[in-house]
Structure formats: structure tokens, C-alpha cells
């Protein structure tokens, strides 16, 4: 019998009204209110009422996505037990919840991640761009010839890789990438050069936050963003979260690893269907089930 994995989406899947069905239930309203009261920003209004510009701010976006994803996973676990879990970028923090931390602590930690990344983003003149139609190995080679800091950071699917770094270097990389065969190089509307080495100051601040928490033993093995290897200890999980703040998201390798481990069915838990689209392009044989609402869980056979 095939194995099962839960995967959790990253930044960019958020929308105003996300989690409203969760908040309207007695089962989750209390937990959500506890999270809302614990944060120094008005996440409740940003999530449920907007405006979208506020929700797009990293320090709102990241905890909002992790809160919704984590609570959906908590409910899904009543019906389905995963053999493995994985998260795309901040989605790895959703993999923390119900695993080695409580939902509340996981979201509070995510808020700190979003704030530290936002702070660093405001201090460095960095950006990101999506490179379409060119294989990752060629992209990595081309970037070696570009001056300054520009790195391949999100290996999303075989023909879509995101680069990150200083604004001038990311922009300078566009022409040589197109010359090498890229169909398009699209600048992304982001507040910083996420996952690049420029984010190391945020990683160092996060390390202090990790040191202040007590992590439980891993219940569900995690496929790490930065290595696509299996993590089965909380200490290794914490080391991974530190590394991925300024390191790559090897999503292609992560999905291929799950396939090699015998996974035939993946539940995408959280807002949007971005990961389902990526997984289809990586390996179309894997079945993907989208869980975006409580109704999706209730409707499972």
C-alpha cells in the first residue's frame, strides 16, 4: 500500500477571508483567539477583513498561512495519518505544528520569522525573480558569471526556479539567463531577497528564538527544504529551520524523495493549490488532494 504525505504551502497563497470557516467553529475559535492575542499585530483583522495590502506584509502573511494550515492539519489528522510531512519555505513551520510544537507556539515563532525577514528586507536592496523554461543546473552555472549576490533559491519545478539576491545583480542576471535559453525572467513583488545569503541576519535572530523553546520528539518525519533528506529528530529539524532562512527550497528534490520513499498520495493542506500544480509537473503519477477548508475534510471518503 502506498504511503501518504502532508505538504504545506508557502508565501503567496494568502487571501483575505482565509480561515473564516475555522474561526466560526467552537473547536478552533479559542485557539485562534489565543494566537491573535499573543501577537503584537492585528492578525485577526488582516486575515478576516483585510485589506489585502496588509495581509501581503510578510509579518502578517507568514503567521496567517501557518495558522490556517496547522489547524486544517490538526483536523485532517483525525482521519488521515501521514508517513511524512514537508512544507514549502514558511510551510516548514506548518510542519512544526502538531508535530514538535503546539499550533500556538508554531505560529508565534512564524511571526518572528516574518518580522525578522521583513526587517532585513528593509535594510538590504534585494529582490527575487522567477526564471521560466530553463533547467536549474544551467541557471546555477549562469549565475556564477554574474557579479554580486544572486543565487538560485527556490527549485519549484523542473522548468521554474526562483533566483534571489541584491536588486542590481538579480536584474543583471536576466539577459545572460535569456541568452542561455530562459523563456522569461519575471521580477517578483516581494519585500526582500528571501532564502538568499543576504537573509543570514534573520537566521541568526531566529536561532535565539529556537534556543528559547522546548521541542517535542518528531511525530511525523519531515523532508527538509535545504537537503530533501528525511529529518526524524527535533534537533535536526531546528537546524533545518535555521539553514532554510538563508538557504534553498529544493522542492523538486523533496517531491522526488517522497516518491522514492513510496509516497503515492499527497494532501496539500492550506490555502491555494500552488503545490498541487508544482507536484503535477514534477511527477504526474502522484495523487494530490487539496485541503483548503473544513468542508474539504468532511467530504473525504
**Residues with active-site annotation:** 89, 195
Interatomic CA distance for residues 248 and 92, integer angstroms: 13
Cell of 48: 478576516
Cell of 76: 485532517
Distances (CA, A) of 247 to 41, 176, 251: 27, 23, 12
Torsion of CA 58, 116, 136, 185, to 10 degrees: 50
Q: Are 36 and 48 spatial neighbours (Cβ–Cβ below 8 Å)? A: no
Interatomic CA distance for residues 268 and 26, integer angstroms: 24
Cis peptide leading into 51, omega within 30 of 0? Answer: yes
Q: Are 168 and 210 spatial neighbours (Cβ–Cβ below 8 Å)? A: no
Cell of 135: 533547467
Interatomic CA distance for residues 111 and 36, integer angstroms: 11
Q: Where are the alpha helices (DSSP H) in the chain?
A: 20-23, 26-38, 43-48, 52-55, 58-76, 91-96, 103-123, 136-143, 167-179, 200-211, 234-245, 251-260, 274-282, 294-298
3-state helix, strand, coil in the chain (%, to 5): 50, 20, 35
Amino acid at each position: 500500500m502506498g504511503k501518504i504525505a502532508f505538504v504545506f504551502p508557502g508565501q503567496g497563497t494568502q487571501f483575505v477571508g482565509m480561515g473564516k470557516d475555522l474561526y466560526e467553529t467552537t473547536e478552533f475559535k479559542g485557539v485562534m483567539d489565543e494566537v491573535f492575542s499573543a501577537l503584537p499585530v492585528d492578525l485577526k483583522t488582516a486575515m478576516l477583513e483585510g485589506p489585502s495590502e496588509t495581509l501581503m506584509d510578510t509579518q502578517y502573511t507568514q503567521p496567517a498561512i501557518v495558522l490556517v494550515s496547522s489547524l486544517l492539519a490538526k483536523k485532517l489528522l483525525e482521519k488521515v495519518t501521514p508517513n511524512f510531512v514537508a512544507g514549502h519555505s514558511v510551510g516548514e513551520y506548518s510542519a512544526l505544528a502538531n508535530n514538535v510544537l503546539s499550533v500556538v507556539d508554531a505560529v508565534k515563532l512564524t511571526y518572528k520569522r516574518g518580522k525578522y525577514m521583513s526587517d532585513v528586507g528593509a535594510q538590504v536592496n534585494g529582490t527575487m525573480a522567477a526564471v521560466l523554461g530553463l533547467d536549474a543546473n544551467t541557471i546555477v552555472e549562469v549565475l556564477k558569471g554574474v557579479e554580486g549576490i544572486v543565487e538560485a533559491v527556490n527549485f519549484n519545478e523542473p522548468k521554474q526556479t526562483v533566483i534571489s539576491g541584491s536588486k542590481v545583480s538579480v536584474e543583471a542576471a536576466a539577459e545572460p539567463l535569456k541568452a542561455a535559453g530562459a523563456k522569461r525572467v519575471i521580477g517578483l513583488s516581494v519585500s526582500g531577497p528571501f532564502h538568499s545569503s543576504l537573509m543570514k541576519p534573520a537566521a541568526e535572530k531566529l536561532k535565539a528564538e529556537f534556543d528559547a523553546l522546548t521541542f517535542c520528539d518528531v511525530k511525523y518525519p519531515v523532508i527538509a527544504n535545504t537537503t530533501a533528506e528525511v529529518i526524524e529528530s527535533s534537533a535536526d529539524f531546528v537546524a533545518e529551520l535555521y539553514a532554510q532562512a538563508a538557504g534553498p527550497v529544493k522542492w523538486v528534490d523533496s517531491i522526488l524523495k517522497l516518491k522514492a520513499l513510496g509516497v503515492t498520495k499527497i494532501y496539500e493542506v492550506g490555502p491555494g493549490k500552488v503545490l498541487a500544480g508544482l507536484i503535477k509537473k514534477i511527477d504526474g503519477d502522484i495523487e494530490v488532494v487539496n485541503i483548503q477548508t473544513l468542508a474539504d475534510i468532511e467530504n473525504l471518503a
